Structure 1
Amino acid sequence: MNKKGFFILFEGPDRSGKSTQVNLLSDYLKKKNVNVIVTREPGGTLVGEDIRNILLNPNNKISPLCEVLLYEAARAQHVQEKIKPALENDYVVICDRFTLATEAYQGYGRGIDINIVKILNNIATGGLKPDLIICLTISDEEYKKRRRSQTDRMESESDDFRIRVNNAYFKIFSELKEALIIDSSKTIEEIHSIIVKEVECRLKI
């Protein structure tokens, strides 16, 4: 793949403030006249959004294997239809979650062999990797402050599941070599400022 653009990934547990920071960064880059596409997983395409609705519907009872394969199916479509073409056309792609989320939720959370998850991720992405990973961490105490009463299927999981996922994110983030890791207990403005500084440096804007 002749990748010319720049792929920015936001990762972190639920309620860590990813979506807020995705939108703030997108707005900032657009003001700098940077071509930006914002997308998310699961989703990002018509097929992906249909799969997202299946995955997050609290009325659906989905086995762990079915769940991980649905995520990977949505991802394969997402990469081929949206992310790769955007990068080839020199866009900055900002994505809310990608392969690390599947490692955390379906691997460590559901107990699917992490090596199998990584193989599936590689198949679905064709080996595509982000250029910058922005990791937002959240403590259990902070999560409880931000927790909503209305939740989707994943957010409705037990506290044990959520803690496994949160611990998995800390483990995964600690193993990344060049990621930007930020404690989401900081203010929205502080987090945005840290992100902007890193992105400006990487994009040379």
Structure 2
Amino acid sequence: MYKKIIVFEGIDGSGKTFHLNEVSKYLNKKKVRFVKFREPGGTINSEIIRNIILTNKSTFKKKTDLLLYLAARNENYENLIKPNINKKVILIDRFIDSTMAYQHYGFSINKNIINTLNNFVLGNLKPNFTFFHYVPIKYIKQNISGEKNKYDKFNKKFYKNVQDGFIKILKKKTNKLIIDSSKTKKYNVEIIKNKINKILNIHD
């Protein structure tokens, strides 16, 4: 069985976290060893940074947020990715594509700076596969759930720009699957499970 880094990407309310959790249940059932975490967040230190970034009281500038995201990622890389790579499947809720989509396409930070920082933290590390959860325009911002954070105040146009950014990023990748979030959860769970079986060589 291949040990892979599998990432779940998409704008807020796209269903990515739900499907990551469904995959983790499935891997447990199949007795596949894995580690999962979210970004920002993951380790204790990264969760502290997450709370600093996303609090509604935050007045940090966009460049400060970027540096905090990368600081949280470094903690995850050192404490979660490096110890488990080639030993366990690694499931990540948001990763480097989210940084580019939100910070560059959403907030217009120079993409070369973002790439340089990611390379500084991760070296040549890249995900093996990405599930991207696409939200049809009319549904953007309709399905955001959970505790509200400062990103919830951004308008529909912001999220459309971010999603368009994801699409531009993913055009260059072959190791991806686009999930239509307007389909039923049951339908998408089956599609993702079937792809997971192929990626990890699991026999159902």
Q: Please say whether Structure 1 and Structure 2 have the same fold, judged by a TM-score greater than 0.5.
A: yes
Q: CA deviation at 1:178?
A: 2.0
Q: Residue 144 and residue 43 in structure 1: after superposition, are their counterparts in 2 closer, same or farther (change >3 A)?
A: closer
Q: Give 1:42-121 correspondences, 5 Å limit.
A: 42-88=40-86, 90-121=87-118
Q: Residue 192 and residue 127 in structure 1: after superposition, are their counterparts in 2 closer, same or farther (change >3 A)?
A: same
User: What's the counterpart of residue 35 of structure 2?
Assistant: 37
**2:165 aligns with one of 165, 168, 184:** 168
C-alpha RMSD of matched pairs (Å): 1.6
TM-score where L is the length of structure 1: 0.92
Distance 2:105 2:143 in 1: 23
Q: Which runs of 5+ in 1 are unaligned?
A: none
Distance 2:166 2:76 in 1: 23
Counterpart of 1:135, as a letter, is F
**1:126 aligns with one of 123, 126, 132:** 123
Could you give the per-residue CA deviations for residues 118-151 of structure 1, whole angstroms, max 9, x where no partner exists?
Answer: 1111112222111111111112211243245962
**1:152 aligns with one of 149, 154, 161:** 149
Q: What is the aligned residue count?
A: 201
8 Å CA contact 2:106, 2:159 repeated in 1: yes
Q: Residue 150 and residue 156 in structure 1: after superposition, are their counterparts in 2 closer, same or farther (change >3 A)?
A: farther
Counting aligned pairs with the same residue, the percent is 36
1:146 is paired with a residue whose SS is coil
Q: Residue 175 and residue 56 in structure 1: after superposition, are their counterparts in 2 closer, same or farther (change >3 A)?
A: same
Q: Which runs of 5+ in 2 are unaligned?
A: none
Q: Residue 144 and residue 63 in structure 1: after superposition, are their counterparts in 2 closer, same or farther (change >3 A)?
A: closer
8 Å CA contact 1:132, 1:179 repeated in 2: yes
